[in-house]
Amino acid sequence: MSESPEPLRDVEVAVIGAGQAGVAASEHLGHHGIDYVVLERDRIAERWRTERWDSLVANGPAWHDRFPGLEFDDVDPDGFAAKEQVAQYFEKYAAMIDAPIRTGVNVTSVQRLDGSAGFRIETSEGAFTAQYVVVATGPFQTPVFPPIVPQTEAITQIHSSAYFNPKQLAPGNVLVVGAGSSGVQIAEEINAAGREVYLSVGPHDRPPRSYRGRDFVWWLGVLGLWDAETPPQGAEHVTIAVSGAGGGHTVDFRRLAEAGITLVGRTESYQDGALSFADDLATNIALGDENYLALLDAADAYVERNGLDLPEEPDARIIGADPACVTDPLNELDLADAGITTIVWATGFTQDYDWLKVDAFDENGRPVQRRGVSAEPGVYFLGLPWLSRRGSSFIWGVWHDAKYVADHIQTQRGYLAYSD
């Protein structure tokens, strides 16, 4: 694992990206004895280092959010690893399996060879060929900036991937748009720093951080919810509001309001210096509560069905009264009057595959694949949400998807090796 000056050579498999998906692919390809290389334009797990806020921790406990072959040696099993610890974990894992990772190499083009099997890969370090290509660049590629608020000197607009801490923000109040894990944690942090914060809340799932002595990731596991192959109808893009910050806690939007954060509905439009919000705040909060209580119901039924001795937790079912910002919500907010100088868009990412010049995408540019095996023979995807199941974009889930992809490549190699 090095930044070798040697020229790139032809290989059987080229893995693009050395985040969690690329490292997972590396392990399983290595087990099969396949000749491969992993190309990364920056450092291993770079997005954990430089595209996340300073205080970020993993959303799952260390006993769960890891690969099977290595535990975190500097995090309590029930604790939540800081972002640098996660990045270092993947570095250690890559070193442990002696992964042939080439960092500082930017892939600019992948296209099928004419008249022969395989692909030509153009990079910042030259060109080479590979029989198979595993795209392990993950889902966090191009930040989404909804074209709602025009760019002006009075308002600084940044994406959550460019937010690091409250000190970087201009003096004034802050609007955070997005009620997933990133938006909630960023809003909490800015509020705790003494800023006045508005939080735009859209549809979301709101699981308990823990219940009856078990983390929610454990409950999703034993209830079989991590293995769901498709999201519920209409919930393909619903975000999950959960936090490992401060040792982990259940996200409760009512408590955020009690702490001084003003909740508003989904951000819709902008005109004459004012933002308009959908009349959906109370509905979004209520549906999040339903999701939360449904998981408690399923957990209680599981405990009873299996005769488990787990402590009851009746207080977990207490839902507080809606705060005034929910019962009498703001439908419009004049940004200047509210003193807002910064908008943080925690609105997710889109995928960018302009460099991947193969027939593996639908009319909307999304990969056409089944369990990572794409519509273009020889091209595979890893690390995407719902690639094979709910857990596919999580650390432990991508490891299992990578095994399936590597096994599929090994099977194809077997066919090609056949001779009379």
Query: Taking 60 as the threshold, does the pLDDT of residue 235 lie above it?
Result: no
Same domain as 213, residue 320: yes
Same domain, 164 and 309: yes
Same domain, residue pair 70 and 217: no
What single-letter amino acid sits at 148?
A: I
- Asked whether residue 171 is assigned to any structural domain, the reply reads yes
Handedness of CA 264, 266, 269, 270 (dihedral sign): positive
Please indicate, yes or no, if residue 4 is contained in any of the structural domains: no
Amino acid identity, position 321: A
Q: Are residues 320 and 271 in the same domain?
A: yes
Using CB atoms within 10 Å of the CB of residue 151, give its burial: 0 to 12 exposed, 13 to 18 middle, 19+ buried.
Answer: exposed
- Which of the pair, 398 or 1, is modelled with greater confidence? 398
Query: Is residue 1 assigned to a domain?
Result: no
**What is the predicted pLDDT for the residue at 340?**
98
From 311, 345, 379, give the residue that closes a domain.
Answer: 345
Q: Which two tokens stand for residue 217?
A: 């990731």
Whether residue 95 is contained in a domain is answered as yes
Last residue of a domain, one of 345, 375, 403: 345
Q: Is residue 40 part of a domain?
A: yes
Whether 252 and 283 share a structural domain: yes
Q: Is residue 266 part of a domain?
A: yes
Per-residue pLDDT at 238 = 64
The CATH code of the domain that includes 77 is 3.50.50.60
Question: Range of 94's domain?
Answer: 9-141+351-417
Q: Is the pLDDT of residue 420 over 70?
A: no
pLDDT for 141 equals: 84
pLDDT at 51 over 60: yes
Please count the structural domains in the chain: 2
pLDDT of residue 358: 96
Task: Looking at the structure, tell me whether residues 278 and 310 fall in a common domain.
Answer: yes
- Residue 121 binned pLDDT confidence (cut-offs 50, 70, 90): very high
Q: Give pLDDT tens digits for 157-198.
A: 999 999 999 999 999 999 999 999 999 999 999 999 999 999
| 349-366 confidence digits (pLDDT tens) | 988 999 999 999 999 899
Where is the domain boundary, 345, 371, 397?
345
* Residue 312 shares a structural domain with residue 391: no
Residues 174, 224, single domain; the answer is: yes
Percentage of residues in the chain having pLDDT higher than 90: 88
Mean predicted confidence (pLDDT) in 408-420: 89
pTM comes to 0.93
- Shared domain for 327 and 384, answered yes or no, is no
Same domain, yes or no: 289 and 302:
yes
Using one digit for the tens of pLDDT, what is the confidence trace for 241-251?
999 999 999 99
Determine, yes or no, domain membership for 2: no
* pLDDT at residue 113, rounded to an integer: 96
What's the pLDDT band for 233 if we cut at 50, 70, 90? low
Written in H, E and C, the secondary structure of the chain is CCCCCCCCCCEEEEEECCCHHHHHHHHHHHHCCCCEEEEECCCCCHHHHHCCCCCCECCCCCCCCCCCCCCCCCCCCCCCCEHHHHHHHHHHHHHHCCCCEEECCCEEEEEECCCCCCEEEEECCEEEEEEEEEECCCCCCEECCCCCCCCECCEEEEEHHHCCCHHHCCCCEEEEECCCHHHHHHHHHHHHCCCCEEEECCCEECCCCEECCEEHHHHHHHCCCCCCCCCCCCCCCCEECCECHHHCECCCHHHHHHCCCEEECCEEEEECCEEEECCCHHHHHHHHHHHHHHHHHHHHHHHHHHCCCCCCCHHHHCCCCCCHHHHCCCCEEECCCCCEEEEEECCCEECCCCCEECCCECCCCCECEECCEECCCCEEECCCCCCCCHHHHCHHHHHHHHHHHHHHHHHHHHHHHCCC
Residue 234 pLDDT more than 70? no
Residues 294 and 212 in one domain: yes
Please tell me the distance from the alpha carbon of residue 46 to that of residue 140, in angstroms, as a whole number: 11
One domain, residues 187 and 326: yes
Gap between the Cα atoms of 193 and 40, Å rounded: 36
Q: What is the pLDDT of residue 239?
A: 83
Question: For residue 3, is it within any domain?
Answer: no
